C-alpha cells in the first residue's frame, strides 16, 4: 500500500508573462484658453513613453501600484511623479482589463481628476525624475493616437464628466477660488460643448445653494460683475458611504 509523503507539495512559480500587474493612471482635465476660441477648451496632460512597448507614443500619466499603498495614494503619487500636478478633485473612474490591452497582463485602475486653470497656468513644473520635454498639454478634441487603450479611456472619462456635470457640482473643480457667474457658465459650456442661456443659468445656480456671494466685483470693459465663491459645505459630488472611507480632495 503506498504511503503518503510527509513533504509538502511544490507549487511552481508563475512565469513572468503569467503574472498580472496592476497599474494606476489618471485622466486629468483642465481648461485652457486660446486666442482662436471664445471659450476655454478642455485639455489634459500626456506623457511621452521612453521605452517599449509603444516607445515615443503619448500616454496617460501613471505607474505601477506599490504593494504598500492604497489606490488613491498611488494615483496621487504617480500623477505627481510624471507631471508635477496636484488636482483639485480626484475620483476613481473604472478598471480597464482587456486581455490584449498590453503585451503582458496588465489591469489599469484609472482615475479622473480636475485641475483649476490657475494651478495649470504655470505649466508642468520641474521636479526630480520629471522630464518636462516628455510632458505636454493636448486639447481633448485633438488627441494623437495614444499608447495602449488610452484613447478609449479618455473617451470614457470625458463621457463621465459630461454626464456628472448635469447632476453634481463638479464644475467648480475647474474654477479659481473666486469667480463670476459668467466664469462658471463658461466651464459648463466648455464641458458640454454647447451654449447655455445666461438668464436660465443664473436662476439655476443661484438657487442651488452652492454659491456664496462676496462683496468684491470684477471690473473691466463691461459693468462690474460680482465675484462668488464655492460653498465648501456642499460636496462636489455625492460619493455615498465611500465618502466616509475614502474622502476625495476638493478645492481649498
**Domain containing 76 — which CATH number?**
3.90.79.10
Sole residue written with cell 517599449? 52
Query: Which whole-number Å values give the CA distances from 163 to 72, 191, 204, in the listed order?
Result: 23, 10, 17
56 and 119 in a single domain? The answer is yes
At 17-65, the pLDDT tens digits run 578 999 999 999 999 887 666 778 899 999 999 999 999 999 999 999 9
Give me the residues paired with residue 72 across strands.
none
Query: Tell me, what CATH number does 184's domain have?
Result: 1.10.10.10
83: pLDDT confidence band, cut at 50, 70 and 90? confident
Query: Which residue range forms the structural domain that includes residue 183?
Result: 170-237
| Mean pLDDT for the chain overall | 84
21 vs 239, more confident: 21
180 and 82 in a single domain? The answer is no
Query: Which whole-number Å values give the CA distances from 50 to 3, 131, 134, 135, 147, in the listed order?
Result: 57, 11, 8, 11, 12
Lowest mean pLDDT among 6-15, 129-138, 190-199, 205-214: 6-15
Contact 82, 61 (CB under 8 A): yes
Q: What is the reported pTM? A: 0.82
Total tally of structural domains belonging to the chain: 2
97: pLDDT confidence band, cut at 50, 70 and 90? very high
Reading the block at residue 222, the C-alpha cell is 463691461
Q: What is the pLDDT of residue 206?
A: 86
Flag whether pLDDT at 220 surpasses 60. yes
228 by Cβ neighbours in 10 Å (0-12 / 13-18 / 19+) ranks as buried
48 and 131 in a single domain? The answer is yes
Q: What is the pLDDT of residue 246?
A: 46
Q: What is the pLDDT of residue 121?
A: 59
243: pLDDT confidence band, cut at 50, 70 and 90? low
Flag whether pLDDT at 12 surpasses 50. no
At 123-138, the pLDDT tens digits run 555 444 455 678 889 9
142 and 81 in a single domain? The answer is yes
Q: What gap in Å lies between CA 53 and CA 150, rounded to an integer?
A: 13
> Does 76 map to a domain?
yes
> Does 179 map to a domain?
yes
Greatest alpha-carbon pair distance for the chain in Å reads 100
> Does 249 map to a domain?
no
184 and 123 in a single domain? The answer is no
> Does 243 map to a domain?
no
92 and 64 in a single domain? The answer is yes
Residues contacting 11, CB < 8 A, separation 6+ = none
> Does 245 map to a domain?
no
Of 45, 117, 48, 106, give the one whose Cα is nearest residue 79. Answer: 45
Please report how many Cα atoms fall inside a 13 Å half-sphere around the Cα of residue 235, on the Cβ side: 12
The percent of residues in the chain predicted with pLDDT above 90, rounded, is: 56
Of the three residues 111, 135, 164, the one that is the final residue of a domain is 164
> Does 64 map to a domain?
yes
Amino acid at each position: 500500500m503506498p504511503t503518503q509523503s510527509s513533504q509538502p507539495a511544490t507549487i511552481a512559480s508563475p512565469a513572468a508573462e503569467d503574472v498580472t500587474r496592476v497599474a494606476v493612471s489618471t485622466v486629468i482635465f483642465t481648461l485652457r484658453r486660446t486666442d482662436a476660441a471664445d471659450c476655454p477648451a478642455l485639455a489634459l496632460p500626456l506623457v511621452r513613453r521612453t521605452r517599449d512597448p509603444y516607445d515615443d507614443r503619448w500616454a496617460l500619466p501613471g505607474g505601477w501600484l506599490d504593494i504598500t499603498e492604497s489606490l488613491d495614494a498611488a494615483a496621487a503619487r504617480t500623477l505627481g511623479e510624471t507631471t508635477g500636478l496636484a488636482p483639485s478633485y480626484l475620483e476613481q473612474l473604472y478598471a480597464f482589463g482587456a486581455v490584449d490591452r498590453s503585451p503582458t497582463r496588465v489591469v489599469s485602475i484609472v482615475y479622473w481628476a480636475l485641475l483649476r486653470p490657475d494651478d495649470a497656468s504655470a505649466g508642468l513644473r520641474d521636479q526630480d525624475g520629471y522630464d518636462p520635454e516628455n510632458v505636454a498639454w493636448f486639447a481633448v478634441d485633438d488627441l494623437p493616437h495614444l499608447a495602449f487603450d488610452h484613447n478609449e479611456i479618455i473617451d470614457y472619462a470625458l463621457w463621465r464628466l459630461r454626464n456628472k456635470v448635469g447632476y453634481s457640482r463638479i464644475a467648480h473643480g475647474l474654477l479659481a477660488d473666486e469667480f463670476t457667474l459668467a466664469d462658471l457658465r463658461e466651464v459648463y459650456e466648455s464641458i458640454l460643448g454647447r451654449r447655455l442661456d445666461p438668464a436660465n443659468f443664473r436662476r439655476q445656480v443661484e438657487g442651488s445653494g452652492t454659491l456664496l456671494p462676496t462683496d468684491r466685483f470684477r471690473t473691466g470693459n463691461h459693468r462690474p460683475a460680482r465675484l462668488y465663491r464655492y460653498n465648501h459645505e456642499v460636496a462636489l459630488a455625492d460619493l455615498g458611504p465611500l465618502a466616509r472611507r475614502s474622502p476625495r480632495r476638493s478645492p481649498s
